[in-house]
Amino acid sequence: MTVVQTPASAIIRGVRAFFGARETGILAALILVIAVTTMVNPTFLFSPDGFRDLLLTPSILVLIAVGQAMVIITRSVDLSVGSVVGLTAYLTGRLFIDVHGIPIILVFVAGILAGAVLGLVNGALVAFGKVPALVITLGTLYAYRGINVLWTGSNRVNASDMPADFLALGTNQLLFIPYLTIIALIVVLIAAWYLRNRRGGRELYAIGSDPAAAQLYGLKVTQRVLVAFIVSGALAGLAGVLFAARYGTSSSQTGTGLELQAVGAAVIGGVAIFGGSGTVYGAAIGAVLLLTINRALPILGIPDFWQQAVVGALILGAIVLDRILALRLSRKLIAKREVSHE
C-alpha cells in the first residue's frame, strides 16, 4: 500500500524537524539572551549601534567557525586559525603599504590564497603524516604566530595605512545589514549547500563517523581531509582581511584566542567534537551566541571570571549533550537490529 504524502503532512513533518533540530535550541538560547539583556538595558538591541553591533561583532568569528566546523566534522580540529587570521590581517596592511594603488579585490584574493596555503600545510601533515590534527595544528599555531611576530616585530598596521574604501567594508551597511554580516551569511549558505547536496560534503560526514570504514569503502579520505583544512585556512584568511577592514589595525597579536572561540562556537552549535555530525548553521549560530553572551554579561553585571565560566559551562554542556545523544542513538540502533533478527 502506497502512502500518499499531502502538503499538510509535509509541513507537519518539516515543523517537527525544525523544532527537533539541535540548532533550534541554540537559536532559542540566543533569543533568550538577547531578550533578557534588552529588558535590563533596552539600548542593547533598540538602538542603531546596538542592533548593528549585534549583527557585526560575530561576523568574523562566524567565518572562522564555518571552516572549523567542516574540519571537526571529519574528526579533526584546526587550532591554527587564530594565527592564520593574524598573518593575513598583517599581510593585508603590508600590501596596501608596499603596493601603492593595489585593487582591493586583489588584496582579498591574496589573503584567501595565503590562508588556503597555510591550511594546505596543516591538511597535508594530517592526511599524509597520519599525525593527530590536534598535535599538528597546535604546532602550526605557534609556528604561524612565530612567523607573524618575526615579520611584524614592533610594527603595526594602522587605519591611515589603508584606503578609506577598504575600511568602509568593515563599517558600512546595505540598508540595515553590515557588509561583513552579508559576506558571512553568503559563506554560511554556500558551505551548508555543499555539505548537504554535494558528494564531497556528504563524504566529510562519513569520514568523521568512521574513518576506517570510509577508507575501506573507497572514499577519498585524504583528499576530503585536505579540502576541509584548505577551506578552513581560506576562510581564516578571508577573516584576516575583514579583520583589518573592521578594526583598521593589525599587530603581531592579532587573532590570538580566536582558535578556541571558533572551536567553542562549533561545539556549542551542535558540531560533535568526535566528528560525523553537525551543521555550519549551528556553528554560525554558536558563534553569534558566544559573542552575544560576551557582550551581554557585563551589562547584566556579571564579573569577568563568571563570564568565562559561563562560556566554559556552555562548551562542556554541549559536549556532554552530544555524548548523551550519541549513546541514545546507539541504543536505538541496537534495539532495531534485535527486533529485525527476531
Predicted pLDDT at 1 = 46
Predicted pLDDT at 332 = 67
Contacts of 76 (CB under 8 A, 6+ apart): 126, 133, 225, 228, 229, 275
Alpha helices in 101-257 (DSSP H): 104-129, 133-152, 164-169, 179-197, 199-209, 211-216, 221-247
Q: What is the pLDDT of residues 174-207, one digit of tens each?
A: 888 999 999 999 999 999 999 999 998 999 999 9
What span, in angstroms and rounded, lies between the C-alpha atoms of 99 and 175? 33
Residue for grid cell 586559525: 81
Predicted pLDDT at 117 = 97
Strand partners for 157: 250
What span, in angstroms and rounded, lies between the C-alpha atoms of 88 and 103? 16
Cell numbers placing 80: 591554527
What span, in angstroms and rounded, lies between the C-alpha atoms of 9 and 85? 47
Q: What is the DSSP string of 136-148?
A: HHHHHHHHHHHHH
- Cβ proximity of 248 and 170 under 8 Å: yes
Helices (H) and strands (E) in the chain, counts: 15, 2
Q: What is the pLDDT of residues 224-233, one digit of tens each?
A: 999 999 999 9
Angle at 239 between CA 234 and CA 242, to 5 degrees: 130
| Residue 226 Cα distances to 76, 196, 301, angstroms | 11, 19, 45
| Residue 307 Cα distances to 40, 42, 255, 299, 304, angstroms | 17, 21, 20, 11, 5
The full set of domains in the chain, from first to last, is 45-299+306-318 (1.10.3470)
| Residue 131 Cα distances to 27, 45, 164, 262, 319, angstroms | 36, 46, 44, 22, 24
Global confidence as pTM: 0.89
Q: What dihedral angle (degrees, nearest 10) is formed by the CA atoms of 174, 177, 181, 186?
A: -70
> Which helix (DSSP H) or strand (DSSP E) does residue 174 occupy?
strand 173-174
SS3 per residue for 52-118: HHHHHCCHHHHHHHHHHHHHHHCCCCCCCHHHHHHHHHHHHHHHHHHCCCCCHHHHHHHHHHHHHHH
> What's the distance, Cα to Cα, between the start and end of the chain in Å?
24
Would you write out the chain's pLDDT as a tens digit for each of its 342 residues?
454 556 666 667 666 666 666 778 888 888 988 998 999 888 888 887 888 888 999 999 999 999 999 999 999 999 999 999 999 999 999 999 999 889 999 999 999 999 999 999 999 999 888 889 999 999 999 999 999 999 988 888 888 889 999 999 988 888 889 999 999 999 999 999 999 999 989 999 999 888 888 888 888 889 999 999 999 999 999 999 999 999 998 888 898 889 989 998 998 888 888 888 889 999 999 999 999 988 888 888 887 777 778 777 877 777 777 677 666 766 765 666 666 655
